[in-house]
Amino acid sequence: MKNAMNAADSRKPDLAHVRFWVFDLDNTLYPASSNLFPQVSRRMGEFIAGHFDVDLEAARAMQKHYFRQHGTTLRGLMLEHGIDAQRFLDYVHDIDLSVLEPAPALGAALAALPGRLVVYTNGSTAHAERILDRLGIADIFEGIFDIVAADFVPKPERGPYEAMLKRFGAKAETALMAEDIAKNLVPAHDLGMTTLWIPGPVDWAAEGAEGEHVHYVADDLAEWLAAHGAPAD
């Protein structure tokens, strides 16, 4: 596949083999337009500013540095400063979810999928559960594989993907992974999963999206799943 974007636009998805559906959380199961994740990002900056007694501009620079160097801000804070992970997660995920509307169309599309559904997130289980409850789709998922289950090793490191599959007793060749950060689909592809990229407004999340690791592209997850996910009658 020389151009995943073009190829995805020109062919009907073949998902007959998929029986294990893996969904990222933030900006995937809810739209980036809700501006929910910027709340988390802002809380990260506030946490860093308070912990290191620096202004918000300096804290933001530190936040970006840790994210770029270590995959997540938390990972950088843990490795370089020994920050308590749970204290950080509790603080940054204390956000207002009222901006999220229930998602009945997404729920119907997810419920119609054959097989098992899980969430795989670089965030915490508690954060994921709150969002799934708010969207009205919590009961559809078998489980959540979070950053704690990944031993705080973030996507796109390959090890946690393997651990996630092992935990749920799933085979990569029968799995599909949906994710808004294109590079996070590289390990999924390499392990043999089918991949679905959910584009968003942030340019860096699209880096590498033209690669062979992106099999399909969906601007609207609910519509795409409704059209292609459920088995034909």
Q: What is the pLDDT of residues 49-108, one digit of tens each?
A: 999 999 999 999 999 999 989 989 999 999 999 999 999 999 999 999 999 999 999 999
Q: Residue with structure tokens 């609207």?
A: 220
The percentage of residues in the chain with a pLDDT greater than 90, rounded to a whole number, is 87
Q: Which CATH number fits domain 37-92: 1.20.140.10, 1.10.150.450, 3.30.70.20, 3.40.50.1580?
A: 1.10.150.450
Helices 85-92 and 125-135, packing angle to 10 deg:
20
- Distance separating alpha carbons of residues 195 and 172, to the nearest angstrom: 11
Mean pLDDT of 185-201: 97
- Domain residue spans of the chain: 4-31+101-228, 37-92
Picking from 229, 7, 23, 13, the residue whose alpha carbon sits closest to that of residue 131 is 23
Q: Given pLDDT bands bounded at 50, 70 and 90, which one contains residue 7? A: very low
Q: For residue range 92-103, list pLDDT tens digits in order.
A: 999 999 999 999
Using the structure block, give the residue that is written with the tokens 């999220």. Answer: 100
Q: Which letter does DSSP use for residue 228 in this model? A: H
Residue 9 pLDDT more than 60?
no
Instruction: Answer yes or no: CATH 3.40.190.10 is held by domain 4-31+101-228.
Output: no
CA–chain centroid gap for 92, Å, is 17
Question: Mean pLDDT over residues 9-31, rounded?
Answer: 90
For residue 49, the model assigns a pLDDT of 96
The pLDDT value recorded for residue 121 is: 97
Rounded mean pLDDT of 37-56?
95
Please write the tens of the pLDDT for every residue from 219-233. Answer: 999 999 999 998 765
The owner of tokens 């994210």 is 67
Rounded Cα distance, 53 and 218, in Å: 42
| Cross-strand bridge partners of residue 178 | 23, 196
pLDDT of residue 120: 98
